[in-house]
Amino acid sequence: MNMNTGNVCLAALGLVLGLLFVTEVNGQPPREYAPRNKAYTEDSEPLKEALRKQLAWELRSLDRTGRSKAVVDAVRESFRRNTKGLLRMVDNRAFLKNDTLQYWVDTVMSTVAIRNAVPRMPVRTLILRAPVANAICFSEGTFVVTTGLLAGIRTEDELAFALAHELAHYSLEHARKSAFYKAEKKVAKKLQKTTTKILSDDDAIQENLDTLRSLVYTISRYSRRDELQADSLGLMYMKKAGYRPEAAYTALLLLDSVGQSPERLGLRLFEPFQIKSYPFQDYWLAPRPSMYSSRREGPIFAADSVLSHPEAAARLAALPWQYVVGTAPDAPAYVRSTIALAEFKNVEAAINTTALDYALLQALRLKHAYPQHDYPTAAISRILLQLVRLRGSVSHVKFVPAYVQYYSQELRMVNTFLHNLQIGELGELAFNFLNNRDNFNPASREHYFLLWHICDLTGRPEVAGKVKANYVTRFGKDDVYSKLKSGPMNAPLGGPLQELWSGEYRFPHAHRD
């Protein structure tokens, strides 16, 4: 099948998926979701084979460029490295498999692409389990959006702008032109050495993050001219597809700062830690020295606008003035529900990528939105427990970065909070937070699991014994009971216990105060 035929088939498939999704959600908007912590893994051969075939087609297409053999060979090697990076990320469970989120993303992408009859149809869109809002376009037609982007937007129009912007990059062949430019400047050899070093890391989580950094730098770091062109064409795309172009402004604001959110809670973020048995201390939020705001450092990106979409301020200023005003209409119920699912998934992504300050910020926001839901309480407890284990170790700064130049105001507050807490205070806060009738749910296995480990870590053997006895009374000696033993938690760090709690949590219908 040639590429043109494949593009037509893709367009038809995208339209069918979109129609199925719209019919389903308009008929009866889903109100609950059971998280299935699935990811593409080393067993996902169909996806990996599709990526390899797409690479083969892309490599063949380079023969028709008329460039010198040396330049073409350098570009070929660059494309091979990029595909290798994607394949390794698939093996390392970096990409989320969730039908609800995938349908939504595919529907918006196919709507924008089909209604604009774009010259190059998108091949696939993958959802990356990364908490920072970002979207990336690869030269061979693979698009990546992060859980951070899906969780941070508030309307479908904002998603449409992010996708339309990347689709514009693809239509204008910015990634391919950038690859040729770099090859001609003889920097491909240097990039190869850097990327090879990054991809040799044995740790899967760190490898995912390093690989993504490399891909962002080598593929998607466009010039200001390219960004403004993609913004301009992207605005045309989204408007023709029926989306509100005004959403471009709020979408760019989201991309401009790590941890940005339209809901500004301020000090209300820390209300869950206002506990009578362990009063909140003002010095926990005392500002840190200004030097920590003077350079960027972080587990994933300093800021999307700095690494893959430079100079967001200039892009905001270039927007037509009429797109900077106006109030967005309320999103439909199915969009709010889907964004709510993305918010929950994004906490899991932040924990799994060890961005624990960001994870705590998102978990506290969920606790505010869904105070009676088990998952935010479990996530907060799990983050605090992990920080108790890490406090004082050299790896602590990998989980809670010292430098916060591009952090949003609320993320800086959470980062400051975690740096100011001493190890003993972290343990006491974790215990008193979970051992509280407003937070602990006796019907939740994970709440027992986490409370037992907190008691074990903070030297409370008598309380730990009571927790264990109460667990047996309610649930019996099941698989979770066997994990109530001293030492590291017998479960991976990351959201609810992924095997044991695959169907326990129910995601509520989205609502806002």
In eight-state DSSP terms, residue 40 is -
CA distance 255 to 300: 14
- Please report, for the chain, the start and end positions of each structural domain, with discontinuous segments joined by +: 3-256
Backbone angles phi, psi at 153, to 5 degrees: -75, 160
pLDDT tens, position by position, 432-443: 999 999 999 999
Q: Which residues of the chain have pLDDT under 50?
A: 1-35, 187-188, 191-192, 195-202, 217-220, 296-310, 490-513
Q: What is the DSSP string of 96-165?
A: E--HHHHHHHHHHHHHHHHHTT-SS---EEEEE--SS--EEE-TTSEEEEEHHHHHH--SHHHHHHHHHH
CA distance 438 to 27: 36
pLDDT tens, position by position, 38-83: 777 656 889 999 999 999 988 888 887 777 888 888 888 888 988 8
Percent of the chain having pLDDT more than 90?
35
In this structure, the number of other CB atoms found within 10 A of the CB of residue 305 comes to 26
Strand intervals (E) in 185-234:
none
Burial 42-75 (b: 16+ CB within 10 A, else e): eebeebbeebeebbeebbeebeeeebeeebbebb
> Residue 311 to residues 82, 221, 225, 314: CA-CA distances in angstroms?
25, 11, 11, 5
CA distance 178 to 170: 12
Question: Cα angle at 127 between 400 and 211, to 5 degrees?
Answer: 55
**What's the confidence (pLDDT) of residue 232?**
86
Two tokens, residue 9: 């088939």
Dihedral angle of Cα 170, 176, 177, 180, to the nearest 10 degrees: 180
**What's the confidence (pLDDT) of residue 270?**
96
Q: Which residue is associated with the tokens 């200001």?
A: 224
**What's the confidence (pLDDT) of residue 256?**
64
Helix (H), strand (E) at residue 34: none
> pTM (2 decimals)?
0.76
**What's the confidence (pLDDT) of residue 52?**
92
Contact yes or no for 191/197 (Cβ under 8 A): no
**What's the confidence (pLDDT) of residue 8?**
35
**What's the confidence (pLDDT) of residue 490?**
45
Region for residue 3 given its phi and psi (left: phi exceeds 0; alpha: psi -120 to 50; beta: otherwise): alpha
